[in-house]
Amino acid sequence: MFKQILYTQWKWTRLPLLVLLLAAFALPVFSARGASAAGRDNWLIEQMLSSLQSWGLVYPLLAGTVGLILARSTWSADHAGKHIYALSLPVPRWNYVLMRFGAGATLLVAPVLALWVGALVATVATTLPPSLQAYPTILALRFGLAAFVAYGVIFAISAGTNKTAGYILAGLGAVLLAQLFLDALGFETLFVQSLLVKLVLWPGPFEIFTGRWMLFDV
Amino acid sequence: MSHAVEIRDLHYRAGKSFEIRELALSVPTGSMYGFLGPNGAGKTTTIRLMLGLLRPRSGRIVVLGGEVPREAPRVLARTGYVPEQPHLYQSLTVDEALRFHAAFYPSWDWKWADELMGEFHLDRTRLLSRLSKGEMGKLEMLLALAQRPELLVLDEPTDGLDPVVRRDVLTALLEYVSQQNATVFISSHLVHELERICDWVGVMDRGRLVAELPMHSFKNGIKRLRVANPPALPGDTPFVLLSREAGTGAVETWIVRGWQAPMSQYFEGVGAGLRDVVDLDLEEGFVELLRTFRVPTS
């Protein structure tokens, strides 16, 4: 059963997955090339790190995109058929959801591996100054974890009906409107900001997306 | 008599406008049960409740001995289902759809699936999104049959299909039933189709079961009578008077249910004359039944 679910998942995502694979492979290679160019001219470590840091924003963005695309495609075919087929299959609902989740998560490994290989290639191809070290495996693991978090969150939201997704969006919209309203009235209650801080700072679930995403660092 | 499907006191509500109330239904094991009703009567909803796709507010559903929705996976493993609308993954090829489906059914019969592929002239490499309505109908039936189910639940399986495809699909169905003694629950508003193949009939309208009886009783029991000098008030009739319409002169047309020949004595007793007894076919009987059901009670 899982094999077939994985197959359908692969079929639905193979084209975007190919693009994501290429992007994941190219990202560390390009970021290292930029850093090398900076280092060759002046051999200034700070300039090299600054160049790497400017690429650092792209890693979490790509991880989020990988999670988003895989999670959305997991449910799109079932949504199109109003879930009738999935519900009429002789497996408990939780089992089916788990298999769909597992299939998407399995495919998630491919871009992570591509990024890891890209990072290894970039590391081998770059001559680093003695004070810097390469972190290809840690970067790939971090990328994998971020993609998995994004995948998990979007998978859970997508699993619901459009109505549920609407409620979630309406809830977020209401929070933002309330904040704007309070701002307009001159209140200094920054609950949207504090909510965001809680989400992106440890132990918030999105902490993994923040911080330094560096292939080479001190 | 054992029952493949038993529903008792079922209550389900979808929104404010549609409700299924106090539904009771019994499908004898091994029967071909025709589930009739106009569009919007609640047939598809009843089927989805029966298979555990929807959850009722209250009531009891037992299918093949298993409580639904609690034991739905076990029940679904032994049930072939053809839904009203094609529901398969459109981006798969026919072959991929077969493999996907087969993986979930331990009793899947590849040999027979291959035979049906040949009989139905289906191209394995064709994408489902490229199949015609007829081809999709045949594929849905193939998937339901090749899992060798004990119960087949078919929701308008031939609706919109051309006569040739309809014949192919029904032939495959009847062949399977004759071999396996499976129970078939077939919903349709194509009354003539059910008349030919079903031995039990249930009629649903506006979320309620109007009638449930053997097909022969349904067909033979509903008659059109031409009555001369009818009484103004029919009184205590031995049959169910569904409707009466004035005709020419002192002759009225009565539609009755539960008619048997000795009942003609009733007319002598009330001073009326029975001129004619005409058999109604299933469609006419169905229409009359619904018409009576829909007459508001004063």
Q: What is the pLDDT of residues A75-133, one digit of tens each?
A: 888 888 888 999 999 999 999 999 999 999 999 999 999 999 999 999 888 877 777 78
Q: What is the pLDDT of residues B255-294, one digit of tens each?
A: 887 888 888 889 888 888 898 888 887 777 777 777 766 6
End-to-end distance of chain B based on CA atoms, in angstroms? 38
Answer whether A76 touches B (CB < 8 Å).
no
B296 has pLDDT over 70: no
Q: Are B52 and B72 in contact (CB under 8 A)?
A: yes
ipTM of the complex: 0.82
Pair of tokens at residue A150: 């994004």
Answer whether A15 touches B (CB < 8 Å).
no
Q: What is the mean pLDDT of residues B6-10?
A: 93
The pLDDT value recorded for residue A41 is 54
- From the CA of A82, how many Å to the nearest CA of chain B? 8
Q: What is the pLDDT of residues B204-248, one digit of tens each?
A: 888 888 888 888 887 777 888 999 988 888 888 888 887 788 877
Q: Are B31 and B200 in contact (CB under 8 A)?
A: yes
Which residue of A7, A12, A92 is in closest CB contact with B73?
Answer: A92
**Distance between CA atoms of residues B5 and A174, nearest Å:** 48
Pair of tokens at residue B134: 């007829």
A38 has pLDDT over 60: no
CA-nearest residue to B106 within chain A is A90
**Distance between CA atoms of residues B182 and B252, nearest Å:** 45
Q: What is the pLDDT of residues A1-25, one digit of tens each?
A: 999 999 999 999 999 999 999 999 9
A to B CB pairs, distance under 8 Å: 53
Partners of residue A88 in chain B, C-beta under 8 Å: 51, 53, 76, 81, 83, 87
**Distance between CA atoms of residues A35 and A45, nearest Å:** 9
What are the structural domain ranges in chain A?
Answer: 2-160, 162-210
Interface test with A, best of B90, B95, B104 (most A CBs within 10 A): B104
How many angstroms from the chain centroid is the CA of residue B125?
34
End-to-end distance of chain A based on CA atoms, in angstroms? 47
**Distance between CA atoms of residues B194 and B32, nearest Å:** 9
Interface test with B, best of A3, A13, A85 (most B CBs within 10 A): A85
**Distance between CA atoms of residues A44 and B9, nearest Å:** 81
Helix (H) / strand (E) element for A134: namely: strand A133-134
Strand B251-257 and strand B240-246: pairing? antiparallel
The pLDDT value recorded for residue A25 is 95
Per-residue HEC secondary structure of chain B comes to CCEEEEEEEEEEEECCCEEEEEEEEEEECCCEEEEECCCCCCHHHHHHHHCCCCCCCEEEEEECCEEECCCHHHHHCCEEEECCCCCCCCCCEHHHHHHHHHCCCCCCCHHHHHHHHHHHCCCCCCEHHHCCHHHHHHHHHHHHHHCCCCEEEEECCCCCCCHHHHHHHHHHHHHHHHHHCCEEEEEECCHHHHHHHCCEEEEEECCEEEEEEEHHHHHHHCEEEEEECCCCCCCCCCCEEEEEEECCCCEEEEEEECCCHHHHHHHHHCCCEEEEEEECCHHHHHHHHHHHHHCCCC
**Distance between CA atoms of residues B4 and B66, nearest Å:** 10
Q: What is the mean pLDDT of residues B89-111?
A: 94
Please calculate the CA angle A124-A126-A132 and round it to the nearest 5 degrees. 105
A80 and B85 in contact by Cβ < 8 A? no
pTM for this one? Answer: 0.83
User: Average per-residue pLDDT in chain A?
Assistant: 86
